[in-house]
Chain A
Amino acid sequence: MYAQQVETGTKAVKSLAEMGPEERAFQEKIDAEIKIEAKNWMPDNYRKTLIRQISQHAHSEIVGMLPEGNWVTRAPTLKRKLQLMAKIQDEAGHGLYLYSAMETLGADRDEEIEKLHSGRAKYSSIFNYPTLNWADMGAVGWLVDGAAIVNQVPLQRTSYGPYSRAMIRICKEESFHQRQGYEILLHMMRHGTQVQKDMVQDAINRLWWPSLMMFGPSDAESPNSAQSLAWKIKRHTNDELRQRFIDQTIPQLELLGCTVPDPDLKWNEERGHYDFGEIQWDEFYEVLKGNGPCNRERLETRRNATQDGAWVREAAVAHANKKQKQQAAA
């Protein structure tokens, strides 16, 4: 999930009878699958939760460009380099669609970005892991974008109209990301040397568990899920989506001829799902707190980029003002 542990500010989900007339009308619309639009009445906590979730989602897209940016100059061929640049450009686009949806709620883009840079806003834990070899570009596309797709497909039906429409656009573009990642790995496994095949397995070993953590804590540890589900901001629980991701990924893993670092992974005929081992949640919470392998580096890169680009933004404003004056004088 690109948004993890989004605080809803509510202790318990209210029943319709406990709500005032405005809130009841709002909840009845949601129950009837009618989209909430920017100008409609909405509870304050619904608005705040959405701003937190959409901004976190947008920040994840923007920070998500950094682990890949590392490989633009190191891509093995021109073809791979062009593909990687197109994917990174899409991610910038996805971040902007989401900031745009967030702004319809009255939030200010610069303020939210400032919260990211000062460490007050979160982004997905996954982007705090390093990308150490070329196979990581394949594994990120296949696993990380794959997990994002599992999360984002149901979000196309999220209750807030502008968020839903942004997700529809994003999902259309996202499958290219996953397919290009898988193709990188498949190519290495089928045509690569032993060293290259080992790189693929190494990338999967490092990224498998962090990819599963993307869906957020288990349902028992997700105090905010009930409210987000009642508001239909979220459509499925974290554990449901995680299971869906594992079930669809393992056959693809077998086709690659690789394994995942989980001795407990096996098909459970009775459940019709794969069983899997315990996730190391201590690691997840440490990364969220800012202590992952790359947290500091990611934020520093973002802050530097903003600072280094300040003169460009100032020049653009100065140029626009000059042109306006010239036009007024003419």
Chain B
Amino acid sequence: MSEWTLYEVFIRSKHGLNHKHVGSVHAVDAEMAIENARDLYTRRNEGVSIWVAPSAAITATASDEKEPLFDPSEDKVYRHASFYELPDEVGHM
């Protein structure tokens, strides 16, 4: 079955959220990948839209890049709403 391609599957639930990665399927082409993903990942109304992409086409961050990529955001606490202290009189903001 080496000619079958591995596809990653993304599903959008009916609640209007983003497509979310759910797993993978093997298929001969994208159309079959959608059909297989339908059977495998939406047996109980889990989705209203499916994306499939060949696994080989996905570029991902490497685990050893974790620090240079994500550390810069760690020391910027002022990007969070909770950083700003306001008096109680302001109420909910």
Contact = CB atoms under 8 A, between A and B. Distances in A.
B26 A40 contact: no
B34 to A, nearest CB: 13
Given A90-B43, A100-B24, A103-B6, A110 B60 contact: no
A153 B2 CA distance: 34
B60 A166 contact: no
Contacts of A41: 63
Nearest to A94: B40
Contacts of B40: 93, 96-97
A316 B29 CA distance: 9
Interface string A90-121: 10010011001101000001100000000000
A173 B25 CA distance: 19
Interface string A288-330: 0000000000000000000000000100110110011000000
Interface string B41-54: 00110000000000
Interface string B1-26: 11110100000000000000011111
Contact of A313 (B1, B29, B62): B1
Nearest to B9: A100
Q: How large is the interface on A (under 10, 10 to 19, 20 to 34, 35 or more residues)?
A: 20 to 34
A190 interface: no
A97 B23 contact: yes
A317 B22 CA distance: 25
Contact of A166 (B4, B23, B28, B63): B23
Contacts of B6: 103
A259 interface: no
Given A37-B63, A39-B62, A173 B28 contact: no
A324 B5 CA distance: 14
B23 A320 contact: no
A249 interface: no
A218 interface: no
Nearest to A324: B29
Nearest to B62: A39
Nearest to B21: A165
Contacts of A320: 28-29, 32
A324 B23 CA distance: 25
Contacts of A39: 60, 62-63
B6 to A, nearest CB: 7
A72 B26 CA distance: 27
Interface in A171-201: 173
A267 to B, nearest CB: 38
A89 interface: yes
A294 to B, nearest CB: 27
Interface string A67-92: 00000000000000000001001100
A78 to B, nearest CB: 20
A15 to B, nearest CB: 25
Interface of A: 37, 39-41, 86, 89-90, 93, 96-97, 100-101, 103, 109-110, 165-166, 169, 173, 313, 316-317, 319-320, 323-324
Interface of B: 1-4, 6, 22-26, 28-29, 32, 39-40, 43-44, 60, 62-63
Enumerate the 4 nearest inter-chain pairs by beta-carbon distance, A residue then B residue, closest first: A320-B28, A320-B29, A39-B63, A316-B28
8 contacts: A96-B40, A100-B23, A103-B24, A110-B2, A169-B22, A316-B28, A320-B28, A320-B29
